[in-house]
A = this chain, B = another copy of it.
Amino acid sequence: MSTTIPIGVLGASGYTGADLVRLAIAHPAMKIAALTANTYAGRTMAEVFPHLGFVELPCLTTIEDADWGAVAAVFCGLPHGTTQEIARAVLARHPEVKFIDMSADFRLRDPATYAAWYGHPHQAPELQAEAVYGLTEHYRAAIRGGRLVACPGCYPTAALMALVPIVAAGAIDADDIIIDAKSGVSGAGRGLKLNTLFSEAGEGLSPYSVGNHRHAPEIEQEVSRVAGHGVTVNFTPHLIPMSRGELVTCYVRLAGVTVDGLRHILATAYRDETFIHVAPAGTLPQTQNVRGSNYVQIGVVADRIPGRAIVIAVLDNLVKGSAGQAIQNFNLMFGLAETTGLTQQPLFP
Protein backbone atom coordinates (compact mmCIF):
# COMPACT_ATOMS: atom_id res chain seq x y z
CA MET A 1 0.00 0.00 0.00
CA SER A 2 1.45 3.32 -1.00
CA THR A 3 0.09 5.36 1.90
CA THR A 4 0.74 4.62 5.52
CA ILE A 5 -0.97 6.48 8.28
CA PRO A 6 1.04 7.29 11.39
CA ILE A 7 -0.72 6.37 14.61
CA GLY A 8 -0.03 6.70 18.30
CA VAL A 9 -1.18 4.56 21.20
CA LEU A 10 -1.92 6.03 24.61
CA GLY A 11 -1.58 3.39 27.28
CA ALA A 12 0.41 0.81 25.40
CA SER A 13 1.27 -1.14 28.53
CA GLY A 14 -2.23 -2.55 29.06
CA TYR A 15 -3.74 -5.56 27.38
CA THR A 16 -5.94 -3.40 25.18
CA GLY A 17 -3.00 -1.30 24.08
CA ALA A 18 -0.90 -4.37 23.42
CA ASP A 19 -3.57 -5.98 21.28
CA LEU A 20 -3.94 -2.75 19.35
CA VAL A 21 -0.20 -2.86 18.66
CA ARG A 22 -0.37 -6.53 17.66
CA LEU A 23 -3.09 -5.74 15.12
CA ALA A 24 -1.47 -2.50 13.98
CA ILE A 25 1.72 -4.37 13.10
CA ALA A 26 -0.31 -6.48 10.70
CA HIS A 27 -2.25 -3.51 9.30
CA PRO A 28 -0.94 -2.63 5.84
CA ALA A 29 -1.83 1.06 6.10
CA MET A 30 -0.67 1.83 9.62
CA LYS A 31 2.67 2.98 10.90
CA ILE A 32 3.15 2.95 14.66
CA ALA A 33 4.74 6.29 15.41
CA ALA A 34 4.26 6.71 19.15
CA LEU A 35 3.64 4.43 22.10
CA THR A 36 3.08 5.87 25.55
CA ALA A 37 2.99 4.29 28.97
CA ASN A 38 3.95 6.67 31.72
CA THR A 39 5.14 4.09 34.22
CA TYR A 40 7.28 2.34 31.62
CA ALA A 41 8.61 5.39 29.75
CA GLY A 42 12.03 4.70 28.31
CA ARG A 43 11.48 0.96 28.13
CA THR A 44 11.03 -1.07 24.99
CA MET A 45 7.83 -2.91 24.24
CA ALA A 46 9.87 -6.12 24.33
CA GLU A 47 10.51 -5.50 28.01
CA VAL A 48 6.89 -4.80 28.80
CA PHE A 49 5.34 -7.30 26.41
CA PRO A 50 7.92 -9.86 25.29
CA HIS A 51 5.52 -11.26 22.69
CA LEU A 52 5.87 -7.97 20.80
CA GLY A 53 9.63 -8.11 20.85
CA PHE A 54 10.10 -9.69 17.43
CA VAL A 55 9.52 -6.54 15.39
CA GLU A 56 10.83 -3.00 15.54
CA LEU A 57 8.65 -0.65 17.55
CA PRO A 58 9.15 2.83 18.98
CA CYS A 59 10.22 2.95 22.62
CA LEU A 60 7.62 3.77 25.21
CA THR A 61 7.44 7.41 26.20
CA THR A 62 5.41 9.53 28.56
CA ILE A 63 2.26 11.08 27.21
CA GLU A 64 3.93 14.47 27.43
CA ASP A 65 6.91 13.40 25.35
CA ALA A 66 4.92 11.96 22.48
CA ASP A 67 4.66 14.08 19.36
CA TRP A 68 0.95 14.13 18.73
CA GLY A 69 1.41 16.42 15.79
CA ALA A 70 3.15 13.62 13.96
CA VAL A 71 0.25 11.19 14.10
CA ALA A 72 -3.00 11.12 12.22
CA ALA A 73 -4.83 9.00 14.73
CA VAL A 74 -4.57 8.30 18.44
CA PHE A 75 -5.80 5.07 19.95
CA CYS A 76 -6.37 5.36 23.66
CA GLY A 77 -6.14 2.38 26.01
CA LEU A 78 -5.86 4.32 29.25
CA PRO A 79 -7.95 3.48 32.29
CA HIS A 80 -11.26 5.29 32.48
CA GLY A 81 -11.22 8.64 34.16
CA THR A 82 -7.82 9.62 32.82
CA THR A 83 -8.71 9.74 29.16
CA GLN A 84 -11.03 12.71 29.09
CA GLU A 85 -8.51 15.35 30.06
CA ILE A 86 -5.81 13.90 27.86
CA ALA A 87 -8.19 13.75 24.93
CA ARG A 88 -9.09 17.38 25.49
CA ALA A 89 -5.45 18.40 25.64
CA VAL A 90 -4.48 16.46 22.55
CA LEU A 91 -7.47 17.59 20.51
CA ALA A 92 -7.08 21.21 21.59
CA ARG A 93 -3.58 21.33 20.22
CA HIS A 94 -4.15 19.00 17.27
CA PRO A 95 -7.78 19.38 16.25
CA GLU A 96 -7.29 17.43 13.07
CA VAL A 97 -6.20 14.27 14.86
CA LYS A 98 -8.68 11.40 14.99
CA PHE A 99 -9.12 10.14 18.52
CA ILE A 100 -10.25 6.55 18.87
CA ASP A 101 -10.92 5.85 22.49
CA MET A 102 -11.00 2.32 23.88
CA SER A 103 -11.58 3.55 27.44
CA ALA A 104 -14.97 4.14 29.01
CA ASP A 105 -14.77 7.91 29.15
CA PHE A 106 -16.93 8.91 26.22
CA ARG A 107 -19.38 6.03 25.97
CA LEU A 108 -22.19 7.48 28.05
CA ARG A 109 -23.87 10.38 26.33
CA ASP A 110 -25.84 11.65 29.28
CA PRO A 111 -23.67 13.71 31.66
CA ALA A 112 -25.81 12.84 34.65
CA THR A 113 -25.56 9.14 33.95
CA TYR A 114 -21.82 9.48 33.59
CA ALA A 115 -21.52 11.32 36.88
CA ALA A 116 -23.74 8.83 38.66
CA TRP A 117 -21.76 5.78 37.52
CA TYR A 118 -18.26 7.20 37.64
CA GLY A 119 -18.58 9.32 40.74
CA HIS A 120 -17.52 12.66 39.32
CA PRO A 121 -18.69 15.11 36.68
CA HIS A 122 -17.22 14.62 33.24
CA GLN A 123 -14.13 16.74 32.71
CA ALA A 124 -14.63 17.29 29.00
CA PRO A 125 -18.38 17.56 28.50
CA GLU A 126 -18.03 19.25 25.11
CA LEU A 127 -16.14 16.22 23.84
CA GLN A 128 -18.59 13.88 25.48
CA ALA A 129 -21.27 15.53 23.36
CA GLU A 130 -19.18 15.23 20.24
CA ALA A 131 -18.18 11.60 20.70
CA VAL A 132 -19.63 9.01 18.37
CA TYR A 133 -20.46 5.61 19.83
CA GLY A 134 -18.17 3.20 18.03
CA LEU A 135 -20.36 0.14 17.65
CA THR A 136 -19.27 -0.11 14.06
CA GLU A 137 -22.07 -2.04 12.42
CA HIS A 138 -24.69 0.21 14.01
CA TYR A 139 -23.03 3.64 13.80
CA ARG A 140 -21.16 3.38 10.53
CA ALA A 141 -22.13 6.71 9.01
CA ALA A 142 -21.45 8.72 12.13
CA ILE A 143 -18.12 7.00 12.69
CA ARG A 144 -17.05 7.72 9.14
CA GLY A 145 -17.47 11.41 9.75
CA GLY A 146 -16.42 11.47 13.38
CA ARG A 147 -13.33 12.86 15.01
CA LEU A 148 -13.72 11.31 18.45
CA VAL A 149 -15.03 7.77 18.58
CA ALA A 150 -15.87 6.06 21.85
CA CYS A 151 -15.44 2.36 21.25
CA PRO A 152 -17.96 0.33 23.24
CA GLY A 153 -17.07 -1.87 26.14
CA CYS A 154 -16.52 -5.53 25.43
CA TYR A 155 -19.72 -6.71 27.12
CA PRO A 156 -21.85 -4.00 25.46
CA THR A 157 -20.45 -4.94 22.07
CA ALA A 158 -21.49 -8.55 22.56
CA ALA A 159 -24.85 -7.75 24.08
CA LEU A 160 -25.79 -5.01 21.65
CA MET A 161 -24.90 -7.02 18.57
CA ALA A 162 -27.41 -9.57 19.85
CA LEU A 163 -30.07 -7.16 21.05
CA VAL A 164 -30.15 -4.02 18.94
CA PRO A 165 -31.74 -5.51 15.79
CA ILE A 166 -34.38 -7.44 17.67
CA VAL A 167 -35.30 -4.57 19.97
CA ALA A 168 -35.36 -2.20 17.02
CA ALA A 169 -37.70 -4.58 15.23
CA GLY A 170 -39.99 -4.75 18.22
CA ALA A 171 -39.50 -8.49 18.28
CA ILE A 172 -38.84 -8.77 21.98
CA ASP A 173 -40.03 -7.07 25.14
CA ALA A 174 -37.29 -4.53 25.86
CA ASP A 175 -38.30 -4.36 29.49
CA ASP A 176 -37.66 -8.02 30.18
CA ILE A 177 -34.08 -8.58 29.09
CA ILE A 178 -31.71 -10.64 31.22
CA ILE A 179 -28.07 -10.69 30.19
CA ASP A 180 -26.01 -13.36 31.88
CA ALA A 181 -22.47 -12.45 30.85
CA LYS A 182 -19.23 -14.40 31.13
CA SER A 183 -15.77 -13.04 30.51
CA GLY A 184 -12.19 -14.22 30.47
CA VAL A 185 -9.79 -12.68 32.93
CA SER A 186 -7.99 -10.35 30.51
CA GLY A 187 -11.09 -8.21 30.61
CA ALA A 188 -10.00 -7.11 34.07
CA GLY A 189 -6.79 -5.65 32.70
CA ARG A 190 -3.14 -6.04 33.58
CA GLY A 191 -3.33 -4.24 36.91
CA LEU A 192 -2.44 -6.22 40.02
CA LYS A 193 -5.61 -7.41 41.73
CA LEU A 194 -6.10 -10.32 44.07
CA ASN A 195 -9.07 -11.77 42.20
CA THR A 196 -7.18 -12.00 38.92
CA LEU A 197 -4.22 -13.97 40.26
CA PHE A 198 -3.89 -17.36 38.64
CA SER A 199 -4.45 -19.20 41.90
CA GLU A 200 -7.58 -17.18 42.66
CA ALA A 201 -9.28 -17.12 39.26
CA GLY A 202 -8.13 -20.53 38.09
CA GLU A 203 -10.27 -23.64 38.51
CA GLY A 204 -13.20 -21.50 39.64
CA LEU A 205 -16.06 -19.34 38.56
CA SER A 206 -17.18 -16.10 40.19
CA PRO A 207 -19.99 -13.68 39.59
CA TYR A 208 -18.85 -10.10 40.17
CA SER A 209 -20.15 -6.54 40.12
CA VAL A 210 -23.66 -7.98 40.06
CA GLY A 211 -26.09 -5.09 39.79
CA ASN A 212 -23.44 -2.40 39.57
CA HIS A 213 -21.20 -3.08 36.61
CA ARG A 214 -20.55 0.04 34.53
CA HIS A 215 -21.35 -1.72 31.31
CA ALA A 216 -25.00 -1.87 32.38
CA PRO A 217 -25.81 1.81 31.74
CA GLU A 218 -23.97 1.62 28.45
CA ILE A 219 -26.11 -1.31 27.31
CA GLU A 220 -29.20 0.46 28.55
CA GLN A 221 -28.33 3.65 26.70
CA GLU A 222 -28.23 1.82 23.40
CA VAL A 223 -31.14 -0.51 23.98
CA SER A 224 -33.23 2.46 25.08
CA ARG A 225 -32.33 4.32 21.93
CA VAL A 226 -33.72 1.61 19.66
CA ALA A 227 -36.57 0.73 22.01
CA GLY A 228 -37.71 4.31 21.99
CA HIS A 229 -38.04 4.49 25.74
CA GLY A 230 -35.88 4.15 28.81
CA VAL A 231 -35.00 0.57 29.48
CA THR A 232 -33.41 -1.13 32.47
CA VAL A 233 -31.72 -4.46 31.80
CA ASN A 234 -30.41 -7.19 34.00
CA PHE A 235 -26.69 -7.53 33.44
CA THR A 236 -24.84 -10.11 35.51
CA PRO A 237 -21.16 -10.71 34.75
CA HIS A 238 -19.15 -13.75 35.74
CA LEU A 239 -15.38 -14.25 35.70
CA ILE A 240 -14.32 -17.39 33.80
CA PRO A 241 -10.95 -19.14 34.07
CA MET A 242 -9.74 -18.32 30.58
CA SER A 243 -7.72 -15.38 29.37
CA ARG A 244 -9.72 -14.21 26.37
CA GLY A 245 -13.28 -14.52 25.30
CA GLU A 246 -16.67 -13.32 26.25
CA LEU A 247 -20.12 -14.82 25.98
CA VAL A 248 -23.47 -13.27 26.74
CA THR A 249 -26.55 -15.38 27.21
CA CYS A 250 -29.53 -13.11 26.72
CA TYR A 251 -32.92 -14.29 27.97
CA VAL A 252 -35.68 -12.48 26.14
CA ARG A 253 -39.46 -12.52 25.88
CA LEU A 254 -40.77 -12.75 22.34
CA ALA A 255 -43.17 -10.12 21.08
CA GLY A 256 -45.14 -11.72 18.33
CA VAL A 257 -42.35 -13.53 16.55
CA THR A 258 -41.17 -17.10 16.60
CA VAL A 259 -37.69 -18.17 17.53
CA ASP A 260 -36.94 -18.72 13.87
CA GLY A 261 -38.33 -15.29 13.15
CA LEU A 262 -36.02 -13.83 15.73
CA ARG A 263 -33.02 -15.54 14.13
CA HIS A 264 -34.17 -14.31 10.76
CA ILE A 265 -34.22 -10.70 11.95
CA LEU A 266 -30.63 -11.02 13.11
CA ALA A 267 -29.50 -12.87 10.01
CA THR A 268 -31.05 -10.21 7.82
CA ALA A 269 -29.58 -7.36 9.83
CA TYR A 270 -26.09 -8.78 9.52
CA ARG A 271 -26.41 -10.35 6.08
CA ASP A 272 -23.69 -8.18 4.56
CA GLU A 273 -21.47 -7.92 7.58
CA THR A 274 -18.08 -9.60 7.41
CA PHE A 275 -17.60 -9.76 11.14
CA ILE A 276 -21.03 -10.62 12.47
CA HIS A 277 -22.19 -14.17 11.88
CA VAL A 278 -25.57 -15.51 12.84
CA ALA A 279 -25.33 -19.24 13.36
CA PRO A 280 -27.86 -21.54 11.70
CA ALA A 281 -30.45 -23.22 13.91
CA GLY A 282 -28.84 -25.94 15.97
CA THR A 283 -25.41 -24.34 16.17
CA LEU A 284 -24.33 -22.82 19.46
CA PRO A 285 -21.64 -20.14 19.60
CA GLN A 286 -18.60 -20.73 21.78
CA THR A 287 -15.75 -18.37 22.59
CA GLN A 288 -13.20 -20.81 21.16
CA ASN A 289 -14.61 -20.04 17.71
CA VAL A 290 -13.55 -16.40 17.71
CA ARG A 291 -10.38 -16.24 19.81
CA GLY A 292 -7.94 -13.65 18.54
CA SER A 293 -10.29 -12.53 15.77
CA ASN A 294 -12.69 -9.67 15.12
CA TYR A 295 -15.67 -11.96 14.62
CA VAL A 296 -18.90 -12.06 16.59
CA GLN A 297 -20.99 -15.19 16.46
CA ILE A 298 -24.66 -15.09 17.44
CA GLY A 299 -26.97 -18.01 18.06
CA VAL A 300 -30.69 -18.13 18.77
CA VAL A 301 -32.31 -20.99 20.68
CA ALA A 302 -35.83 -21.67 21.84
CA ASP A 303 -36.49 -21.46 25.53
CA ARG A 304 -38.48 -24.25 27.15
CA ILE A 305 -40.70 -21.57 28.61
CA PRO A 306 -43.18 -20.76 25.87
CA GLY A 307 -42.87 -17.30 24.41
CA ARG A 308 -39.25 -16.88 25.39
CA ALA A 309 -35.96 -17.26 23.55
CA ILE A 310 -32.25 -17.31 24.27
CA VAL A 311 -29.83 -15.24 22.22
CA ILE A 312 -26.16 -16.00 22.68
CA ALA A 313 -23.27 -13.93 21.38
CA VAL A 314 -19.51 -14.47 21.62
CA LEU A 315 -16.49 -12.35 20.83
CA ASP A 316 -12.88 -11.87 21.80
CA ASN A 317 -12.98 -9.14 24.41
CA LEU A 318 -9.65 -7.68 23.32
CA VAL A 319 -10.40 -7.72 19.58
CA LYS A 320 -14.00 -7.03 18.56
CA GLY A 321 -14.52 -6.09 22.20
CA SER A 322 -11.78 -3.47 22.05
CA ALA A 323 -8.74 -3.11 19.80
CA GLY A 324 -10.19 -4.82 16.75
CA GLN A 325 -13.31 -2.71 16.73
CA ALA A 326 -11.13 0.35 17.23
CA ILE A 327 -9.21 -0.51 14.09
CA GLN A 328 -12.42 -1.24 12.24
CA ASN A 329 -13.52 2.29 13.15
CA PHE A 330 -10.14 3.67 12.10
CA ASN A 331 -10.58 2.03 8.73
CA LEU A 332 -13.94 3.76 8.30
CA MET A 333 -12.58 7.11 9.45
CA PHE A 334 -9.71 6.97 6.98
CA GLY A 335 -11.67 5.68 4.04
CA LEU A 336 -10.07 2.26 3.99
CA ALA A 337 -11.79 -1.02 3.37
CA GLU A 338 -13.43 -1.79 6.69
CA THR A 339 -11.78 -5.18 7.06
CA THR A 340 -8.24 -3.96 6.42
CA GLY A 341 -5.84 -5.63 8.85
CA LEU A 342 -8.62 -7.55 10.54
CA THR A 343 -8.93 -10.71 8.52
CA GLN A 344 -6.80 -12.85 10.78
CA GLN A 345 -8.70 -16.06 11.48
CA PRO A 346 -9.39 -17.30 15.01
CA LEU A 347 -6.65 -19.18 16.84
CA PHE A 348 -7.82 -22.61 17.92
CA PRO A 349 -6.94 -24.57 19.91
Is the CB–CB distance between A249 and B234 below 8 Å?
no
C-alpha gap A97/B347 in the complex (Å): 29
A324 within 8 A of partner (CB) = no
A69 lies within 8 A of chain B by Cβ: no
Q: How far is the CA of A338 from the CA of B345 in the complex (A)?
A: 21
Please measure, in the bound complex, the distance between the C-alpha atom of A102 and the C-alpha atom of B62, giving whole angstroms.
43
- Residues in chain B near residue A289, CB distance under 8 A: 50-51, 53
The proximity string for A residues 185-199 relative to B, scoring 1 for CB distances below 8 Å and 0 otherwise, is 110001011101111
- Give chain B nearest CB distance to A253 CB in angstroms: 9
Interface string of A213-236 (1 = CB under 8 A from B): 000100000000000000011111
Q: Is A83 an interface residue (CB 8 A)?
A: no
Count residues on chain A whose CB falls below 8 Å from chain B CBs.
86
Asked if A268 lies at the interface with its beta carbon under 8 angstroms from chain B, I say no
Residue of B26, B190, B207, B240 touching A284 (CB-CB under 8 A): B207
Q: Verify B243–A198 contact, CB threshold 8 A.
A: yes
Tell me, in angstroms, the Cα distance from A194 to B15 when the chains sit together: 12
Instruction: Tell yes or no: A25 within 8 A of B by CB.
Output: yes
B186 near A349 (CB under 8 angstroms)?
yes
Within 8 Å CB of A236, what residues of B?
Answer: 249, 251, 310
Q: Is A4 an interface residue (CB 8 A)?
A: no
Which B residues are in CB contact (< 8 Å) with A251? 178, 180, 234, 236, 251
A170 within 8 A of B: no
Instruction: For the complex, give the distance between the alpha carbons of A104 and B208 in Å.
Output: 33
A244 on the B face (CB < 8 A):
yes
Q: Interface stretch among A131-139, A301-309, A329-337?
A: A301-309
| Binary contact track A104-120/B, C-beta < 8 Å → 1, others 0 | 00000000000000000
Is A247 at the interface (CB under 8 A from chain B)? yes
**When A199-B15, A241-B240 are in contact, do A343 and B53 touch as well, CB less than 8 Å?**
no
Using a CB-CB cutoff of 8 Å, which residues 163-210 of chain A contact chain B?
Answer: 175-176, 178, 180, 182, 184-186, 190, 192-194, 196-208, 210
> In the complex, what distance in Å separates the CA atom of A251 from the CA atom of B53?
26
Interchain CA distance A289-B22 in the complex, whole Å: 12
List residues of chain B with CB within 8 A of the CB of A178.
178, 251, 305
Given A26-B345, A51-B290, A199:B207 Cβ within 8 A = no
Measured between beta carbons, the chain B residues less than 8 angstroms from A263 are none
Contacts of A190 in B (CB 8 A): 194, 197, 199-200
- 7 closest A-B pairs by beta carbon, nearest first, are A204-B288, A199-B349, A192-B192, A206-B286, A51-B346, A51-B348, A180-B180
